[in-house]
Structure 1
Amino acid sequence: MHQQAYASQCTAAEERHESATSPIRNPRLALLALALGTFAIGTGEFGSNGIIQLFSADLGVSIPVATSAITAYALGVMIGSPAITLFAARINRRTLLLGLIVLFLVGNALSAWAPTIGLLTAARFVTGSVQGAFFGAGAVVAAYVYGPGKGGKAFATVMAGLTMATIFGSPLGTFIGQHAGWRAMYWAVVVLGLLAGAALVSWLPRTSDLHGSSVRNELGALRRPSVWLMVAIASLGISSIFAVYTFIGPFVTDAAGRDPSVVPIALAVFGVGMAVGNSWGGRIADRYQNRGLLYGYGGVLLFLVLIGLAGSNLTVLLVGFFGTGATMMFAIPTIQVRLTGFAPDAPTLMGALNLAALNLANSLGAVGGAITLGAGWGTLSTVWAGAALTVAGLVLYVTTVGRQRPVLPTRA
């Protein structure tokens, strides 16, 4: 099975288990350490959106100029993370994760210190370059902890920290920024990063089973058309979640006519949906080749239609937020398993590409929504832009790689 190929390549356990230097003493703590890392990363990412007005005013630049710091983070994920993954191809995944946490701490400390928007933008690019590589390496370690046939559940575990950040970390970070200054938010993220780093040092297994593969294997994966098709499918399909998430504020205040105080509640509802969908999606990804993606993309289309037709009602809107978050996150572990099934020799790079696709989806969803708003089609029209992009991703999947079997792994 392709999932078994994924797990075996993530760990090389069947080939090198006898060379391990220590067993996994407490699998749950190892998984918790990974989730703490992604929670810290997600808090810094989403928290930045909540303080953009604060650092814009403090650094003396307009909001459009200040968004360059947000864009730089996304570029770091899309460009920096795959580059780091290739550069560190042979490094043990535990060692790589520890190095990435150090880079994360440096990036956020520089963000807190930055005296100009230029330096803040550079610091956010550095910090963003950590994200995809951390998720990719984290998925490999989680797959080793879970054992063969649990690639989807492993990636969902790593993603769990990110979904928790949307519920708790981002609102808390924004609150800190509003009451103690925007720099304090980044220092708080540094503290989270230190806690995550301590957990990784203490709880991740020390074993040669987690050694990386050759750069040739990683680069070889990039020559496979099925890999790039899956990246395109992810970027198009997942964009609908951002065509909603980006515009939650206007949905609540303009379309539903409610007070801005309701917006944090709506964000939390969306985040809870993401957490639920991610949990179930990991289980489905390990059992079925296509169902997670097909059901996830198909389900999100239904909730987008619901929001588009009846989103002026707050109850309907909140149901739509929960459903959109849940159904789309339901698909993401399957995307990871399918990506790695097409390139089992490069699981860490596939994780980085998956996160790069998510950030490209973020841009596509926001741009698509901006186009419909600019055309004067109304506040809720952004969901139709998201629906069109998801339909394109679904059609591309069904007509291309949906029926393809995974490739067989090769030795480094």
Structure 2
Amino acid sequence: MKRKLLPLALGGLGIGTTEFVMMGLLPDVAKEFGISIPQAGHMISAYALGVMIGAPLLVAGTSRMAPRNILVGLMLLFTLFNTLSAFAPNDTILLLSRLMSGLPHGAFFGVGSVVASRLAEKGKQAQAISMMFSGLTIANLLTVPLGTYIGHAFSWRYTFGGIGLIGLLTMLALYFVLPSLPASKTSNIRSELKVFSHLDPWLIFLITAIGTGGLFCWISYIAPLMTEVSGFQASSVPYILMVAGLGMFVGNLIGGRLADRLKPLTACIVLLISMSLTLLLIFFFSGSQIMALVLTFIAGSCSLAIASPIQMLMIQSSKGAEMLGASITQAAFNMGNALGAFLGGLPIAAGFGYTSPEAVGVCMALSGALLAWILIMRRRAVALRG
């Protein structure tokens, strides 16, 4: 990894940790505040809502600022509200601090994607973006399990204090290591918002939200799938999640290289079809523990492999508003999270078993691939008319 991209990867590490560690800390938070697990689960929803709100609001109109200054400001918010989470006196304050700590998430990855692509060698822009997302994959592999252990063994407050420390280190790294890129002199909020008047960014938003929703159909219910269908002990689930995290790390690197070798839109179609096939195999073969583990790794790989191509695609489709467009993609990922968890849960509630979310996931991933094909056809038609 190039030294100048390390601050972006470190920011991805902190963001990935705070996003996913709460899922493992819900029992500890619920016990301390005397609330139910579903009530504690609102902390996860609050963070996702913060991502969706903050992605456009914190980026719109900032293109005249130097990108490094934007990233430092975003990480300041991240550090402040994650530290506040560590000292929250009640569940209401924790809920609000989780909402606020989600605000910089999409904006950081959006601005960071543009910065990484500008710092990259020609033809290696997607690989540079994947270096930023490598921090998020390392979080799933190492710091999320570690933070969960600390929360169980000592206190969940120490976990969020540690996340605040990662935020502080990221701010310093951004200031002293990340090169200073010039701000745009011509862009303004009116010209940036024109990106929403074009169809292509909306199609990319839907490709992301619906297509990646297929992944979240699977991972949202991975624990009961592994215990009730594959026959693993509940104590094995954290290690199974580490297998998924390792897959995410490998897939992220593959996705960056694939998007540089192929066109980003073509890479998205390939990866969404691969995701649908993997989910179909999970549906049929989760009864085998060996197959379940192999497919967990492959599904994890598919999940992060698409991150760099979809970001590159949005950047190319948002000329004049690249940072805003790239941040909107992060809001779409979180919408996919919500859609996948909701739609994947419907067949379980109807009594169809814990493999049924994968059937929904196959449909969502294929729908995303279909939308990507429609975008290709649309661009060909526009080129012919031009």
Partner of 2:284: 309
Partner of 1:330: 305
CA contact (8 A) 1:141 1:210 kept: no
1:148-297, aligned counterparts within 5 Å?
148-208=122-182, 213-289=187-263, 290-297=265-272
Distance 1:149 1:132, change over 3 A: same
Q: Report the secondary structure of 1:71's partner residue.
A: helix
CA contact (8 A) 2:208 2:336 kept: yes
Q: Report the secondary structure of 1:51's partner residue.
A: helix
Partner of 2:75: 101
CA contact (8 A) 1:295 1:327 kept: no
Cα deviations across residues 123-177 of structure 1 (Å, max 9, x unaligned)? 1111111111101111122122214433322321211111111111110111111
Alpha-carbon separation, structure 1, partners of 2:371 and 2:171:
40
Say which is worse superposed, 140-149 or 55-64, in terms of deviation: 140-149
Letter in 1 for 2:116: A
CA contact (8 A) 2:217 2:341 kept: yes
Identity between Structure 1 and Structure 2 (%): 35
Cα deviations across residues 310-329 of structure 1 (Å, max 9, x unaligned)? 10111111111111121232
1:5-20, aligned counterparts within 5 Å?
none
Q: Report the secondary structure of 2:179's partner residue.
A: coil
Partner of 2:333: 358
Distance 1:405 1:339, change over 3 A: farther
1:36 paired with 2:10, answer yes
Cα shift at 1:211: 7.2
Alpha-carbon separation, structure 1, partners of 2:376 and 2:81:
38
Structure 1 segments (4+ residues) deviating >4 Å = 209-212, 405-408
Say which is worse superposed, 27-36 or 212-221, in terms of deviation: 212-221
Say which is worse superposed, 152-161 or 361-370, in terms of deviation: 152-161
Alpha-carbon separation, structure 1, partners of 2:50 and 2:64:
21
Say which is worse superposed, 99-108 or 198-207, in terms of deviation: 198-207
Report how many residues are paired.
382
Alpha-carbon separation, structure 2, partners of 1:84 and 1:41:
16
Letter in 2 for 1:360: M
1:60 paired with 2:34, answer yes
CA contact (8 A) 1:76 1:126 kept: yes
CA contact (8 A) 2:86 2:161 kept: yes
Structure 2 gap segments, 5+ residues each: none
Partner of 1:298: 273
CA contact (8 A) 1:241 1:324 kept: yes
Q: Report the secondary structure of 1:404's partner residue.
A: helix
Q: Report the secondary structure of 1:400's partner residue.
A: helix
Alpha-carbon separation, structure 2, partners of 1:288 and 1:404:
16
Structure 1 gap segments, 5+ residues each: 1-26
TM-score, normalised on structure 1? 0.88
TM-score, normalised on structure 2? 0.94
